Amino acid sequence: MSDAAEIIRNAQQAGIAIPAFNVPYLPMIEPVIRAVADQDSFALVGVARLEWKKFESQSPAAVRDEFIKWNQPDHVRLHLDHIPVIDEDNQRVDYLSIIREAIELGYDSVMVDGSRLDLEENIEATRQVVDVAHAAGIPCEAELGAVLGHETGPLPPYDELFESGMGFTDVEEARRFARETGCDWLSVAIGNVHGAISGAMKDRKKIEARLDLDHLERLRKATNIPLVLHGGSGVKREHVLDAIKRDITKVNIGTEIRQAYRSALRASGSVAAAQDAVYERTSWLIRDYFGLSGTRALVMGQATGPSREGAA
């Protein structure tokens, strides 16, 4: 059976991206998996530390237990998203023990987020996690540059952020980071922002982000590893599709399906109705937004599909 690293490589070769759907509520797992399978597609189901700290997914173990109840190994893998070294509230995190625990629980890939550290410390922390992950035979994602949005308090005006390139992943730093850490996938900042997670802001519509595609191209050449786009909800669609053509190989989706769940739950009081909303939204994203219906065999290495050059 294809492992997570192989699946991402296949996707890269095929010129498509693997979506990673974040699940801050345990009942979201079933409809996400069902939607991915019904679209004959492939995705990662992801959970970040802040989703069990600040939302209701409880723990890596609770997510794993719910995941295996519904797991369809031909269509999904379980990914541990953002384990920060310093979290969104500026607290130090015992990241290594969380990652070790997830690996023991059977997670298929992990992410360490040292992006709030300086370059040297980020390299050091990431290399440590890469060693642990690789010893267990699974890939490790890392982040360089500041994908803002999880912090408490408002962001500076988006246009200002974008024009100044504030927080963008630096090309030379990325080159060195990829070489020295050995990480498998790198989350980059090229104009993307995370959805707000605190207070009333978290239900507000996300600003429409843009992406600096020339900068992405430079990062791709410098790192030579699959790149990841976080904050995939709410980016201008043409920009996301262009970014995928230029080697973004994994796109994280959080806000979009979380808000679908919460607003349906609030409106109806019914978890089943909220699950339906997640199913509809996930199906729409795969089918209409990313155009990924029917790509399962391609990324599982069971079909000869179009090459990146041949892809539309």
Residues serving a catalytic function are: 81
Nearer to Zn ion, 230 or 239 (CB): 230
Nearer to Zn ion, 183 or 298 (CB): 183
Choices 25-33, 213-221, 224-232, 294-302 (CB under 5 A): range interacting with Zn ion:
224-232
Shortest CB 218 distance to Zn ion, Å: 21
Alpha-helical segments (H) within 199-254: 213-223, 237-245
49 binds Zn ion (CB under 5 A): no
Rounded CA separation 35/42 (Å) = 10
Shortest CB 217 distance to Zn ion, Å: 22
230 binds Zn ion (CB under 5 A): yes
Shortest CB 87 distance to Zn ion, Å: 13
Closest to 221 in 3D by CA, of 229, 209, 213: 213
Q: Count of residues binding Zn ion (CB under 5 A)?
A: 1
Can you read off the two tokens belonging to residue 229? 């786009």
Which 3 state secondary structure label does DSSP give 294? coil
Choices 85-93, 154-162, 212-220, 225-233 (CB under 5 A): range interacting with Zn ion:
225-233
Rounded CA separation 189/119 (Å) = 15
Nearer to Zn ion, 127 or 230 (CB): 230
220 binds Zn ion (CB under 5 A): no
Half-sphere exposure of 40 (CA within 13 A, CB side): 6
Contact 141, 183 (CB under 8 A): yes
**Cα torsion through 9, 11, 14, 19, rounded to 10:** -160
Rounded CA separation 282/21 (Å) = 8
Contact 86, 116 (CB under 8 A): yes
Choices 68-76, 229-237, 275-283, 303-311 (CB under 5 A): range interacting with Zn ion:
229-237
If you count them, how many residues does the chain have? 312
Shortest CB 21 distance to Zn ion, Å: 12
Can you read off the two tokens belonging to residue 261? 């769940």
Choices 13-21, 226-234, 239-247, 285-293 (CB under 5 A): range interacting with Zn ion:
226-234
Nearer to Zn ion, 197 or 286 (CB): 197
Strands (E), the chain: 18-22, 43-47, 76-84, 109-113, 140-144, 185-188, 227-229, 248-253
Nearer to Zn ion, 31 or 46 (CB): 46
Question: Mask: binding to Zn ion, 98-137, rule CB under 5 A, as x and -?
Answer: ----------------------------------------
Shortest CB 179 distance to Zn ion, Å: 23
Rounded CA separation 310/312 (Å) = 6
Residues that bind Zn ion (CB under 5 A): 230
